[in-house]
């Protein structure tokens, strides 16, 4: 399968714990985006990478959120000291440039 | 700021009924417009797109026309099927001469249920 993959698909954690999600984009897509989707809402943009450079991170929800794409291939999104309000679906999308983005299945985070 | 407003759901239709889901937008720059669909338990899939005014996007019997004068991009299908039951999202991305990150701005989504 050559689509965007995300791991894990589901994560349950306790408040205060750190979590890390991984996204593997479509091979050779140079742009990678992270979004958050809460129940009943559309996805909300968080950050994006052009190759390994993080070109926008001001939309990250707080300084507890960080993302990396160390070699311009896969990316990780980390949330430190999780809070119940962080419970959501975290989506990754990749793009070869241009208008179209291809989404992964998402990681559903539940913070107890 | 840039935003998308789409009709609230849920929308419930009988099979073979006509579907319209309204979408309007507010944007600076030159937006491209999209409809994404999310089937139960699956990720977002691009349904159709239009990149400039008066363009019509179409796919799987769905259509939407980019209307700059009314800032709208309404989704239509002449005869829905049970398999069309899903959540539909209208979205835009902005491309400026100065360069753009190209992130998508989504509406809240409209849930469609089609009954046999």
pLDDT tens-digit profile of B8-62? 889 999 999 999 999 999 988 779 999 999 998 888 999 999 999 999 999 999 9
Closest CA to A45 of B84, B79, B103, B70: B103
Write phi, then psi, for A7 (nearest 5 degrees): -145, 135
> For A4, which residue in chain B has the nearest alpha carbon?
B43
* Chain A residues with at least one Cβ partner in B under 8 Å: 4, 31, 33, 35, 40-45, 48, 55-56, 91, 93, 95, 98-106
DSSP state of B62: E
Chain A residues touching residue B52 (CB < 8 angstroms): none
Between the CA of residue A77 and those of B2, B63, B95, what are the distances in Å?
25, 35, 26
Distance from CA of B71 to the nearest CA of A (A): 19
- Chain B residues whose CB is inside 8 A of the A106 CB are 43
Q: Give A46-55 contacts, CB < 8 A, sequence gap 24+.
A: A46/A77, A48/B101, A48/B102, A48/B103, A49/A75, A55/B101
The answer, yes or no, to whether residue A85 has pLDDT greater than 60, is yes
In this predicted structure, what is the pLDDT of residue B96?
A: 57
- B57-85 pLDDT tens trace: 999 999 999 999 999 999 999 999 999 99
pLDDT band at A89 (very low <50, low <70, confident <90, very high): very high
């Amino acid at each position: 399968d050559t689509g965007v993959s995300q791991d894990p698909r589901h994560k349950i954690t306790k408040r205060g714990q750190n979590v890390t999600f991984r996204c593997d984009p479509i091979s050779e897509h140079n742009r990678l985006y992270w979004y958050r989707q809460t129940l009943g809402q559309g996805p909300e943009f968080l950050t994006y990478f052009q190759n390994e450079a993080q070109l926008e991170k001001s939309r990250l929800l707080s300084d507890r959120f960080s993302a990396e794409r160390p070699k311009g291939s896969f990316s990780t999104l980390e949330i430190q000291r999780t809070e119940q309000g962080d419970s959501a679906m975290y989506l990754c999308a990749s793009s070869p440039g241009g208008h179209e983005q291809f989404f992964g299945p998402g990681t559903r985070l539940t913070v107890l | 700021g840039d935003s998308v407003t789409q009709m609230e759901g849920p929308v419930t239709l009988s099979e073979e009924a006509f579907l319209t889901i309204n979408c309007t937008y507010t944007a600076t720059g030159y937006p491209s417009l999209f409809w994404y669909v999310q089937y139960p338990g699956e990720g977002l899939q691009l349904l159709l797109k239009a990149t400039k005014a008066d363009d019509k996007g179409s796919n799987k019997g769905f259509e939407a026309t980019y209307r700059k004068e009314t800032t709208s991009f309404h989704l239509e299908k002449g005869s829905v099927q049970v398999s069309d039951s899903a959540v539909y999202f209208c979205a835009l991305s902005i491309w400026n001469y100065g360069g753009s990150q190209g992130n998508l701005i989504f509406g809240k989504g409209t849930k469609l249920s089609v009954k046999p």
